[in-house]
Amino acid sequence: MSTPRLVKAPISICFSEENIDKEVYEREYQQLSESDEDPISQWLKLAKAKGDTRETDPILLELVVELHRKIDSLEMFLKDEVPKRVSLICASAIESIGFEYFKMETEILEEGTLYYGRIEMPIYPKHDVGVFFEAQSSTLAKIIKMHDRDEKEWNAYMTARERVLIREAREKK
């Protein structure tokens, strides 16, 4: 196996072995993508499908929707409610990422084992990404399954991190 191209990225992951509770992990994976817990996203998707948003500025609409999410989040905080998430056994910092890979800071993986994980993406709007991955070594993981939207955001984040590192390297010269 050739070494994948990775760039430093300060993100973290919670994960468990896939075989512990595969059906529950698959359900959460689907919920994270479809935003089942987010009624405003479902309403927006339906409105777009009907064509009700045709004459609306898409950026402004997205900002208003995100403001609504923030209010919902604040309301949940005030009521001391937390989003229901599957309990995952391990947590680790991710040292670096690539288009299909990521590398843990510590040797925590068992080579050849399949895992389910949740990554909090540090992009706007912040959200958790469900991912299934296979350990290639004790630190290197290959992404097996990620939703299309999440994959695009992952790749965009990786590219943005790469640009930041290039810019920092130029400034040091």
> What is the per-residue pLDDT across 66-80, written as a single tens digit (0 to 9) for each?
888 788 778 877 888
Q: What is the pTM of this model?
A: 0.74
- What are the tens digits of pLDDT across the range 103-134? 999 999 999 999 999 998 887 667 789 999 99
Q: What is the CA radius of gyration of the chain?
A: 18
Quick check: 35 pLDDT over 70? no
The predicted pLDDT at position 37 comes to 52
Give the integer Cα–Cα distance in Å for 117 and 131: 5
Give the integer Cα–Cα distance in Å for 67 and 158: 26
The predicted pLDDT at position 34 comes to 61
Question: How many C-beta atoms surround the C-beta of residue 41 within 10 A?
Answer: 15
Least confident of 3-17, 67-81, 92-106, 148-162: 67-81
Greater model confidence, 55 or 138: 138
Parallel/antiparallel/unpaired status of strands 140-145 and 101-104: antiparallel
Quick check: 38 pLDDT over 70? no
